[in-house]
Amino acid sequence: MRDELRADLLEVGRLLVSMAEAVRTAMGHATEALLTADRATCEMVIARDAEVDDLHRQVDQQVYDTLARQAPVATDLRLVITGIAIAADLERMGDLAEHVAKTALRRYPAPAVPPELREVITSMGAVADRMAGKVGLVLTTQDATLGAELETDDDAMDELQRRLFSILLHKDWRYGAEAAIDGALLGRFYERYADHAVNAGQQVVFLVKGETSEPPSVDQP
Amino acid sequence: MRDELRADLLEVGRLLVSMAEAVRTAMGHATEALLTADRATCEMVIARDAEVDDLHRQVDQQVYDTLARQAPVATDLRLVITGIAIAADLERMGDLAEHVAKTALRRYPAPAVPPELREVITSMGAVADRMAGKVGLVLTTQDATLGAELETDDDAMDELQRRLFSILLHKDWRYGAEAAIDGALLGRFYERYADHAVNAGQQVVFLVKGETSEPPSVDQP
């Protein structure tokens, strides 16, 4: 690979790592704000999503510039374009953190999460944090085993979502339809966040291994 | 534009139109199956999502081949790459139709939609159908006014989602938390389907107008 192309790809990688860090921080703050009904933190998460969107635009621009200036071929070409797909996954993770913050804000000053759900939401937040951290790490280290770990983490997230639904649907649920809907949507936000983390990680691995198959795409309920 | 590049782009466009038709049919069948608790149709929608995924892979492959063989630059380059983004939106619309079918199947043989929600779900299905039809049409005709119409349709979808939630959260709701959760998730599936339709349409318009700004990205609750 030529030096100029390598430098361009490093810049794309650097931007993607910044995005991964930003969406990890966003979901961390959103979960904390959700559990503490903290209005200021919710508003900060919502406001700062613009930074993620801006990084996304920078990645796209860098990819277009690289394609135009370097005209890479074969594996190099796929590598450059995959940057676009990873950035799209990361931006979506930022959006989902924003949705968690907006859900908390909609119920403010009441807490959006009743006591029975605190433990499972806390766990979902912890798994989300771990996964976003691994996406950043796989981007930096290109360690394919981290990609596999993301799938295990995603299984843990799916299990937590099942536990969440079993609480919402239990005959003893006493918070009514509104809180059940909030709980179900929150569960979906964390689960989708995890799906996009797996997808981003798999695409890095696809790059590293230079597979001839297509990059994976998020495709699950 | 060279003839070979034009031919390649026509092929990408042809595949995208097939995807738009497939995801329109899928959501149409899913809505019908949801309202009639029709198991066979649900299973067909779920099985046929593989065809959409296959078309998606074909678009990506065609785009990579085009980039490798034609090495387009400037506007042509953006035009080719935007095909990837549109295909990703269309695939996601197919996934969302599949989620509607899976929701119906999970309650089978009971209907997943109580009588109070039938009208609003029917309307959401009709708006989704209209929007997917317009995405196909904007791909074929490249008529930018259709892109603007998609935004108006999306406002109608958002309004329907608000009406849906107002029914779920009404004090007279008598179907419990489970049906409320299903209703909320179904509402989200239709609303996300509409968002991706807007996004796909806007990207076609972006291509036609050759804007220098970045293509739009789905970014809303």
pLDDT grade for A220, boundaries at 50, 70 and 90: very low
Q: Is B48 on the interface with A (CB under 8 A)?
A: no
| Residue A209: per-residue pLDDT | 67
- Of A64, A173, A217, nearest to B77 by CB-CB distance is A64
The confidence score (pLDDT) of residue B213 equals: 41
Question: Are residues B193 and B93 in contact, defined by beta-carbon separation less than 8 angstroms?
Answer: yes
Indicate the average pLDDT of chain B. Answer: 91
- Taken as a whole, chain A contains a residue count of 221
DSSP B186: H
Cα distance between residue A60 and residue B47, in whole Å: 34
Of A81, A98, A181, nearest to B180 by CB-CB distance is A181
Whether the CB of A78 is below 8 Å from some CB of chain B: the reply is: yes
ipTM: 0.85
User: Does the pLDDT of residue B219 top 50, yes or no?
Assistant: no
> What single letter denotes the amino acid at residue B160?
L
- Nearest C-alpha in B relative to A169: B178
pLDDT digits (tens, 9 = 90+) for A37-77: 999 999 999 999 999 999 999 999 999 899 888 888 878 88
Two tokens, residue B67: 């980039």
Rounded Cα distance, B107 and A133, in Å: 37
pLDDT given at position B212: 38
pTM of the model: 0.90
Give the A:B interface size as CB pairs under 8 Å. Answer: 96
| CA–CA distance, B28 with B24 (Å, rounded to integer) | 6
Average pLDDT, chain A: 91
Q: How far apart are CA B7 and CA A48, in angstroms?
A: 43
Are A34 and A103 in contact, with CB atoms under 8 Å apart? yes
- Looking at beta carbons, which residues of chain B come within 8 Å of A84? 81, 84-85
pLDDT in tens, A49-59: 999 999 999 99
The answer to which of A204-218, B45-59, B79-93, B112-126 has the lowest mean pLDDT is A204-218
Looking at CA atoms only, how far is residue A98 from chain B in angstroms? 8
For an interface test with B, which of A15, A67, A199 has the most B Cβ atoms less than 10 Å from its Cβ? Answer: A67
**Tens of pLDDT along A139-175?**
999 888 998 899 999 999 999 999 999 999 999 999 9
pLDDT at A212: 38
Cα first-last separation, chain A: 39
- The string over B120-142, giving b where at least 16 C-beta atoms fall within 10 Å of a residue's C-beta and e elsewhere, is bbbbbbebbebbbbbbbbbbeee
Query: Which tens digits make up the pLDDT trace of B38-97?
Result: 999 999 999 999 999 999 999 999 998 998 888 888 788 888 889 999 999 999 999 999
B81 to A88: CB separation less than 8 angstroms, yes or no: no
